């Protein structure tokens, strides 16, 4: 049973998405909604993200919508270091602030600014050890930043009971087709 689920995936630029009105955003959100609903039926209580834009921010949007019906559902933003948003534009900073301010819990895993890649490795280790599973929006044929976390999760899974879920390009295509059919009906 997955009570605490980490969710991660592509950053928006890795998908060619540069604003929230991109037609791919509702498709990704629907895929996330479907996965989270399935997990809610199995006992999901917490969704955990690390404060990245893209899949993680969209996950927070979906969780806030689901909380209207599933009032026990909560989300946490566990940031790897202080100031990860400092170089972002104002729109992205606002999205980040919304994600963090509306979270049921948020904290920094290291109380310092970026000091090196080890902070991302420590973040992954902490997330794996403090969750029951992880959901990726990721496709093996289109590598991107999630590949490192996915590899680390697979190594962790070899030694621990840990669930790994993936929403890939094929699933997103099916959801897009379903959404198009609904519009035509």
pLDDT tens-digit map of 127-181: 999 999 999 999 999 999 999 999 999 999 999 999 999 999 999 999 999 999 9
| Per-residue confidence (pLDDT) for residue 157, from 0 to 100 | 97
What pLDDT was estimated at residue 185? 75
What is residue 121's predicted lDDT score, i.e. its pLDDT? 94
Q: Which residues of the chain are under the pLDDT cut of 50?
A: none
pLDDT at position 24: 96
Taking the CA of residue 95 as centre, how many other CA atoms within 13 Å lie in the half-sphere pointing to its CB?
A: 22
pLDDT of residue 171: 96
pLDDT of residue 184: 84
What is the pTM for the complete model shown?
0.96
Please give the pLDDT value at position 25: 97
CATH number of 4-184: 3.40.50.450
Residue-range domain boundaries for the chain:
4-184
> What's the whole-number average pLDDT of the chain?
96
Write down the pLDDT at residue 51: 97
Distance CA 160, CA 150 (A): 15
2-14: string of b/e by CB count within 10 Å (b at 16+)? bebbbbbbbbbeb
pLDDT of 169: 95
- Closest to 109 (Cα-Cα) out of 156, 185, 50, 69: 50
In DSSP notation, 72-122 reads T-EEEEEESSBTTTTTS-HHHHHHHHHHHHTSSEEEESSSSB---THHHHH
């Amino acid at each position: 049973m997955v009570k605490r689920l980490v969710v991660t995936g592509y950053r928006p630029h890795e998908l060619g998405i540069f604003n929230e009105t991109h037609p791919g955003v509702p498709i990704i959100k629907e895929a996330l909604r479907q996965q989270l609903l399935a997990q809610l039926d199995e006992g999901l209580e917490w969704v955990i993200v690390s404060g990245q834009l893209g899949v993680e921010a969209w996950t927070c949007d979906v969780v806030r919508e689901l909380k209207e019906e599933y009032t026990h559902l909560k989300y946490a933003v566990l940031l790897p270091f202080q100031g990860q948003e400092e170089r972002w534009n104002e729109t992205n900073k606002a999205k980040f602030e919304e994600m963090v301010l509306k979270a049921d819990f948020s904290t920094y895993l290291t109380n310092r600014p970026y000091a090196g890649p080890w902070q991302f490795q420590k973040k992954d280790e902490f997330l794996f050890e403090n969750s029951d599973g992880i959901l990726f929006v990721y496709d093996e044929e289109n590598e991107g930043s999630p590949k490192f976390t996915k590899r680390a999760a697979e190594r962790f899974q070899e030694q621990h009971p840990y669930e790994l879920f993936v929403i890939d390009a094929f699933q997103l295509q099916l959801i897009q087709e379903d959404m198009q059919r609904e519009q035509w009906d």
